[in-house]
Structures are given as C-alpha cells and as structure tokens.
A and B are shown apart, each in its own frame.
Chain A
C-alpha cells in the first residue's frame, strides 16, 4: 500500500522569504518521490524527483527537496519565494516506479508581494 499526506491545504509566504511545502509518505519498499506544480487551467509540470542517491534533490525554478527516510518526509523548499511561484503543488509517491503514482491532495501556495 502507498499513500501521501500533504498536511497543509494552503501555505502563504511573503515574497523573498523562504518557503516550505510539506509532504510525508507511506510506501512498502523503496520510494520513488516526485513534486509537481499546477498553474491555473494547466496540466502538471514536473519539478523534481528522488529515486536514489543524494538525499537533497535540486529541481526546476530554484526548488529543492530533502528525502528523509527516518521521518518518511519529502518537503519541498525554496530559499526565496517569488510571486510567480503561486500555484498548486502536488507530492507523489510510488514503490513500483514513476508511472504508477499516488498523489497527495495538493497544497496551494500563495506568495504575497
């Protein structure tokens, strides 16, 4: 069984401040972990992934995420938020690979000018 929890429906952050979007997961075996972003009326865009290797993963648009096996977390972070980062963010997990993903319910990020 696999599941993902995004505990915050909404995250507000001031422009220029660091941002964190939280994700915890439950999966049998080694996890494949992904972050995607969705802008209004658009499909999902890939941000970053962890499959193996370094626990700190760097992705698109200055985002990064840290895989923490002991806490079963994969939080998304960015050192300095931009207004253009405002969007809906999804964490996803699988134990079989990138094509059988379980998605979280999403976190809406609003960056306030």
Chain B
C-alpha cells in the first residue's frame, strides 16, 4: 500500500491564483481530513469527510473547498489564494471514527 499520497510536494502561487491540492489513499478508509500546519499553532482542521459524497467544515474552512466523489480521493481547492494561506497542508485518512488517522507527507504552499 502507498498509504496517503499528496501532490504536489511544493507549490508557489501568486495572490488570486487558484489551485487544487491532491490527496489519495489506497487503504479503503471512509474518513478523510485536511489540516494546515502553521508555526506555533499546531494543526488545524480545514474540512473533513465521513464518506463519498459527504463533507463538512472544520475549524478553519474559509477560502477552501472540498469534494469527495470517490472513497480514494479528497482534493482541496483554493479558489483565490491569499498570503494568509501560506502553510503546510496535510491530508489524513482513517478507517472509522474510533481509529487513528494516517497522514500524508504534506504540501508546502507559499502564496506571494
């Protein structure tokens, strides 16, 4: 199993540009989540999904959209990037709500 994969590893955007961060898992996990990690702030939940077709907002959802059309994929979309979205983004998945999450390697995003 590849586990949780994220692409790209690094990305630089200009303010106002849009992009999609890709996340895929091959463990048949129902639950998937997106977090951002900022220095001194730990990880904060952006959006999460409890299954295909079902998504919900986390702690910091503004400026981000998600969809879950398949069990395997959970892309995160930035519609109009802002410097405040400069961060490291982690995708995670888990089998169910009582099980630990598996994290991807992260995407480092810089918005100038």
A104–B50 touching, CB < 8 Å = no
Q: Please give the number of chain B residues whose Cβ is less than 8 angstroms from any Cβ of chain A in the complex.
A: 28
Please give, as numbers and ranges, the residues of chain B lying within 8 Å of A100 by CB-CB distance: 33, 45, 48, 58
**Is the C-beta of A97 less than 8 angstroms from some C-beta in chain B?**
yes
A51, B103: Cβ atoms under 8 Å? no
In the assembled complex, the Cα of A37 lies from the Cα of B44 at a distance in Å of 16
Query: How many residues of chain A have a CB within 8 Å of chain B?
Result: 25
Digit string of B95-107 for contact with A (CB within 8 Å is 1, else 0)?
A: 0111111111110
Residue B40, interface by CB 8 Å:
yes
Report the number of A-B residue pairs with Cβ-Cβ less than 8 Å.
64
**Quick check: B103 and A103 within 8 Å, CB to CB?**
no
- Tell me the nearest residue of chain A to B31, going by C-beta: A99
Whether B97 contacts A43 by the Cβ 8 Å rule is: no
Q: Tell me the bound Cα distance from A105 to B40 in angstroms.
A: 6
Q: For A106, what are the chain B residues with a Cβ–Cβ distance below 8 Å?
A: 42
- When distances are taken between beta carbons in the complex, the residues of chain B under 8 Å from A101 are 33, 43, 45, 101
Give 23 A-B contacts (CB < 8 Å), ordered by A residue. A34-B100, A36-B103, A42-B106, A43-B103, A43-B104, A43-B105, A44-B90, A44-B92, A44-B101, A49-B100, A90-B43, A96-B97, A97-B98, A98-B94, A98-B97, A98-B98, A99-B31, A99-B48, A99-B94, A99-B97, A101-B43, A103-B42, A104-B42
B binding-site residues for A, Cβ under 8 Å? 4, 31, 33, 35, 40-45, 48, 50, 58-59, 90, 92, 94, 96-106
